[in-house]
C-alpha cells in the first residue's frame, strides 16, 4: 500500500526505495508489522538513530519523513510533531580546498578514469548522479554551460563550466579523456566539444 501511495504521488524512484527501506528497518527493529507500532516506538527509534547509530540530524529527518508518510498517507493516521519533533539542524561552513589542494587531490588519483571523474566534478560542480547521466547533447560549448536534466528533485539546471584559469584547463581534461577506454563512453563524450580543437 505504501509503494502504491508513493507511486501515485509521483515520488522519485530513489525516494521510494529509501522510504520503503526505512519502514522495513523500523519494523525489523521491533519485530512487528509497522502498522502495529505507534508514537512510543517512533520516539524510541528516533532516539536510537542518534544515540546508537550516530546518524546526523539530516539523516534522522529523512527517516522521520518516511515514517510520517507511512502513517499519514498509507495508514491515514494522525501525526503529532509535538510528540515526534524533527531534529534541530546544525549548520556548519564547509571546508573549502585551495586550488593547490584540489590539484593534489586530483593528481593522487592513479587510474585515468578516477582522475577524470574528479576533474569533471570539480570543473563543473555537478553532482555524482548528474555526471553519470551527462550526454553530448547536454553540452553547450558556445555558451560554456551544461544542461543538467533531471537533477536533484527532478529539476533541470544550467551549470557554468569552470573558468579558463581554473586548475582544470581544457587541454588537461582532453588529454585525460583520450586516455580513457571506450567502456567509459559517457565520460568521454561529456567534454568532447572542448577537445575538438585541442591536439596537444
Alpha carbons 182 and 185: distance in angstroms, whole number: 5
The mean of the pLDDT values for the chain is: 78
**178, pLDDT greater than 50:** no
Whole-number pLDDT of residue 4: 93
* Percent of the chain residues topping a pLDDT of 70: 77
* pLDDT, mean of residues 70-84: 88
Least confidently predicted of 22-26, 30-34, 116-120: 116-120
Edge-to-edge order in the sheet of strand 145-148: 139-140, 145-148, 157-160
Domains observed in the chain: 2-74 (1.10.150.130), 99-195 (no CATH)
**72, pLDDT greater than 90:** yes
Pick from 2, 157, 146: nearest CA to 68: 2
Amino acid at each position: 500500500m505504501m509503494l502504491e501511495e508513493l507511486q501515485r504521488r509521483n515520488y522519485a524512484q530513489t525516494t521510494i526505495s529509501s522510504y520503503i527501506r526505512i519502514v522495513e528497518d523500523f519494523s525489523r527493529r521491533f519485530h512487528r508489522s509497522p502498522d502495529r507500532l505507534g508514537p512510543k516506538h517512533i520516539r524510541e527509534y528516533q532516539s536510537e538513530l542518534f544515540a546508537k547509530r550516530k546518524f546526523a540530524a539530516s539523516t534522522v529527518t529523512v527517516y522521520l519523513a518516511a515514517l510520517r508518510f507511512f502513517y499519514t498517507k498509507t495508514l491515514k493516521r494522525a501525526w503529532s510533531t509535538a510528540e515526534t519533533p524533527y531534529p534541530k539542524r546544525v549548520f556548519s561552513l564547509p571546508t573549502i580546498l585551495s586550488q593547490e589542494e584540489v590539484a593534489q587531490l586530483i593528481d593522487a588519483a592513479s587510474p585515468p578514469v578516477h582522475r577524470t571523474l574528479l576533474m569533471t566534478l570539480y570543473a563543473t560542480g555537478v553532482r555524482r548522479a548528474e555526471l553519470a547521466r551527462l550526454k553530448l547533447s547536454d553540452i553547450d560549448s558556445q555558451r560554456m554551460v551544461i544542461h543538467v536534466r533531471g537533477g536533484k528533485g527532478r529539476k533541470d539546471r544550467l551549470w557554468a563550466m569552470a573558468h579558463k584559469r581554473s586548475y582544470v584547463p581544457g587541454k588537461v581534461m582532453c588529454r585525460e579523456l583520450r586516455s580513457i577506454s571506450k567502456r567509459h563512453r559517457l565520460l568521454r563524450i561529456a567534454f568532447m566539444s572542448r577537445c575538438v580543437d585541442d591536439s596537444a
